[in-house]
Structure 1
């Protein structure tokens, strides 16, 4: 398709979105994007230098098809393309994290291992024209946008959509599991020197910036996602002028209907899809966005648990049943984490289900112990609060 072509009808946009956002097939691969905040090793309150950060990691190219990128707040993101199995993913990512951490340390910096900056107020470090346009749009809506862009870091498992007949259940499950796993791995209670009262201040900020209504689930996830994407207000529209701003509330569907001076193209639609940040985003795979960044090697536990709970239809059904009592408790999960007794009661059997599935699936004992140990430390920490 020539993506510079104009979109004439809503149906054309819906068909295009449905065709690119879910790639169904055998559920064999899993990937991850690991975003980390960066601090000066000796003076973590000191503003980060864009020049210093770029000099340290700007030219680094990871192996195995991954990439390293820098975010507007100076975040470093390692994206590892999906691998054939958790053991291979662990091996690939572990080696690459060690290389990135070595580069960071040699540059006098360190990775925070947290979901929000505990030391500094939001401050722009780097900015493309796209990021400037996003920041301006967020600023018109909420102060949370500045926090999200410059002060937060997330862990994003990349999970397969699965066979066509299993897509609806897997898509629903990855949402249903959200509050429980968000609570289990909440890791952002302090921002800019202040205890916020939230286990995941990062997710509190996301909730404060929500740009659409109910989550896009149902018997036809592709159609539901297309409808959702077209009704979310535009953040900006690219153009030759200095300003990319658009009137508040204009959606992509409105644009197709003539709300803006020119017609949208498929390139415009691709750009819009990249500005959607719901808890789960389909980009061929299922990109989970509700988890806080984790310290060091702790990234593996949430990725392994999610992968195991989506491992086969029977486990998906069992996981959804266990998660159902807390499936809509996003606010409580973000605020209280595992100190909420109801959420903790749902998390425990979900973890047991996942560990059993990982054991049956042949995950090596050392990696199984790593996952179990990370989870146990979370529960111990919650009981100490």
Structure 2
């Protein structure tokens, strides 16, 4: 379930032109692969900072050197680098929560040891509280992305260069209805997603100043706009809704073999198939287009939940992974989660995530919102009961219990700790 951004290379086998009807059939077929939930994955983005003075920027030369060393180290997870130099570890699909945790933990230990030799470490915060966006990678994909996102303001550069997340990947689910059915899981991901935003909000600062949002990272995603970072309508069959959304979203860029990539303005993929104004689109163009859409829940054969801020501490990432796995893959917990978040759906007002009142409240207030706090407590309770049934280790169950006691039960989230520590974060 790894998701690197190295998908801009040659796609020769897919260079046959596609029609609108073919594109619709392809999207329906490749984005929802239904079946019994069997695998789990996680993608961890980290800010890389000096161990002693995290407020000092790491030089590009330091990053180049340490990443060159890391690429020579054997890891099970895929290691990639984000545009601002953030490090990402993407697990392989795991057959159990325990397998996923053990594999990624071992890889993280290896990565941390290599970084420490250069005086560097991994920091789990949803948005860098110290530094302004600065691009580390100079590649055609990111040149085009920056040009495209700049049209809607500075939020795109913040997303690219100064944000970090925990992304949990679960199977799409059964074809049949029920707690593990794909339609229920798709709906649950979008309603539970707001609860996950609120519970794990961990980015309240920008330039060491409070933004008024517990998840500034989520605010940046909202400001990028619905065409690039929004989800589809939840009415109707999920495949149909996502297919319409994918085709009616704007094309970010058109890759070229030489020179800068073209960045059209306002051209949807559907329009491209009809007008062929930039040459006929191919299967490779479609595949690439799907990687440039960043909804909070992205169907990629499996479901990729993208709304969770990076978490503090060495084991902080365990909690959103374990809670999400329990609420999606244990039938009893999935049913409880569905009933728990169902009343929240009214606050979404039938508007797609994250551009609706429910998600806005989650990002702004975290668990200070009473309804989100109540829903989070119910979901965490269900997850705690389910984790032993999923074979979770004591390390995992203890981490979830500690998080619930420290944050959920008190209507707090990790962002509150950062706000409390603000004087210590500012060396001046």
Scaled by the length of structure 1, the TM-score of the pair is 0.94
Partner residue in 1 for 2:412: 382
Worse-superposed segment, 134-143 or 208-217:
208-217
1:271 aligns with 2:281: no
In the other structure, the counterpart of 1:105 is 116
Greater shift, 206-215 or 68-77, is seen at 206-215
Task: State the Cα distance separating 1:259 from its structure 2 match.
Answer: 5.3
Aligned residues: 384
Q: Deviations over 1:229-282 (max 9, x none)?
A: 111111111124534333321100010011523110011111110001000101
- Of 329, 336, 343, the residue aligned with 2:372 is 343
Quote the Cα distance in structure 1 between the aligned partners of 2:221 and 2:215. Answer: 10
Matched, 1:192 2:207: yes
Q: CA deviation at 1:366?
A: 3.6
Q: CA separation in 2, counterparts of 1:282 and 1:91?
A: 26
Match of 2:48 in 1: 38
Structure 1 gaps, min length 5: none
Question: Does residue 341 of structure 2 align to residue 323 of structure 1?
Answer: yes
Matched, 1:116 2:131: no
Question: What is the DSSP-based 3-state SS (H/G/I as helix, E as strand, rest coil) of the residue aligned with 2:70?
Answer: coil
Structure 1 residue 325 displacement after superposition: 2.8
Query: 2:21 matched to 1:11?
Result: yes
Q: Quickly say closer, same or farther: Cα 1:14–1:285, change in 2 above 3 A.
A: same
SS in 2 for 1:37: strand
1:288 equivalent to 2:288? Answer: no
Q: Deviations over 1:97-131 (max 9, x none)?
A: 11111111211212121000011111112221101
1:166-203 Cα offsets, whole Å, 9 max, x none, are: 11111111111011111000010112221111110000
CA distance in 2, matches of 1:13, 1:96: 38
1:299 aligns with 2:317: yes
- Tell me, in whole angstroms, the C-alpha distance in 1 between the residues paired with 2:112 and 2:191: 34
Please point out which of 39, 45, 57 is paired with 1:29. Answer: 39
Q: Is the 8 A contact 2:144 2:263 kept in 1?
A: no
1:286-317 per-residue CA deviation (whole Å, 9 max, x = no partner) reads 11100001122111111111111112445333
- The secondary structure found in structure 1 opposite 2:53 is coil
Find the counterpart in structure 2 of residue 237 from structure 1. 254
Do structure 1's residue 207 and structure 2's residue 222 form an aligned pair? yes
The alignment yields a C-alpha RMSD, in angstroms, of 2.0
Deviates more, 1:21-30 or 1:306-315: 306-315
Q: Which moved more, 1:148-157 or 1:221-230?
A: 221-230
Judged with a 3 Å threshold, the aligned counterparts in structure 2 of structure 1 residues 283 and 301 are, in CA distance, closer, same or farther, namely same
Moved more, 301-310 or 210-219: 210-219
Structure 2, unaligned runs of 5 or more:
1-11, 349-357, 421-428
- 1:356 corresponds in structure 2 to 385
> Any conservation in 2 of the 1:184–1:347 contact (CA below 8 Å)?
yes
CA distance in 1, matches of 2:110, 2:75: 13
Structure 1 runs (4+) deviating above 6 angstroms are: none
Structure 2 CA distance for partners of 1:302 and 1:239, relative to 1, 3 Å: same
